[in-house]
Amino acid sequence: MATSYELSAELRERTGKGGARATRREGMIPAVIYGENEPPLAIKVPYKMLDQRINAGGFFTRLATIEVGGRKIRVLPRDYQLDPVKDFPIHVDFLRVAEGARIRVEVPVHFRNEIASPGIKRGGVLNIVRHTVELDVPVDAIPEFITADLTGLDINDSLHISKIELPEGTVPTIDRDFTVATIAAPAGVKEEAREAAAAAAAAASAPAAEEAAAGEAKEGAPAAGGDKEKK
């Protein structure tokens, strides 16, 4: 389970684009806390503190406690926006979470035991279909990631969600056994397979072609005792 952390924040008196720009000039990031049937709460968080959390990884799977206005509010980050040019955070959305609640969250997939995959040993390529999986989880037990084991997978094999061990009480939100990754054949193996298939098809069609050619030759041959050249 991912660890939680604390953030200190201040209430924002001004909202809108002008207020957001003023907040950023102060070295703060405008943010909002919403959910749990309470009005949205406009806050501002120190830029350095929040930027470190975003770049540390696992930002969306870690609970946070925000201290603001004399209150401590437990939240889960749900979204953030980046400056399109300078690529730094300019706004963050936090969701209030109650103890014992369940929540849907995108959890990263980590892959292990590549050296135990016969397909990869033969030059196969790990084709990741889903880098993250949306899970329905207890809010107090959000996994930081789930682990997919590649042991035994050969070329053209698929790894489905049913083969990945999930934490207790955690279920996928998609109600089918979807593919998480495959072992794809390398270009050389694909070419060999195409050549083998072409050779097999040619070998299978050769007897029929010979039989047809023999039939045509027989039909074109002169009949025995036919007309001879007149002198």
Extents of the domains making up the chain:
5-98, 103-187
From residue 96, give the alpha-carbon distance in Å to each of 21, 40, 114, 167.
25, 10, 39, 23
Q: What is the pLDDT of residues 162-200, one digit of tens each?
A: 999 999 999 999 999 999 999 999 876 556 656 667 777
Superfamily covering domain 5-98: Ribosomal Protein L25; Chain P (2.40.240.10)
Q: Using DSSP, state whether 46 is helix, strand or coil.
A: strand
Task: Tell me the whole-structure pTM to 2 decimals.
Answer: 0.74
**Is the pLDDT reported for residue 148 higher than 60?**
yes
Which range, of 67-71, 79-83, 133-137, 198-202, averages the lowest pLDDT?
198-202
> How many Cα atoms sit within 13 Å of 113 on the Cβ side?
11
Residue 226: pLDDT band with limits 50, 70, 90: low
| CATH number of the 103-187 domain | 2.170.120.20
- Tell me what the mean pLDDT of segment 10-32 comes to: 92
Instruction: Assign 73 a pLDDT band (cuts: 50, 70, 90).
Output: very high
pLDDT at 231 over 50: no
In this model, does residue 211 exceed pLDDT 50? yes
- Of 8-12, 140-144, 226-230, give the lowest mean pLDDT range: 226-230
Cα 214 from Cα 152, distance rounded (Å) = 51
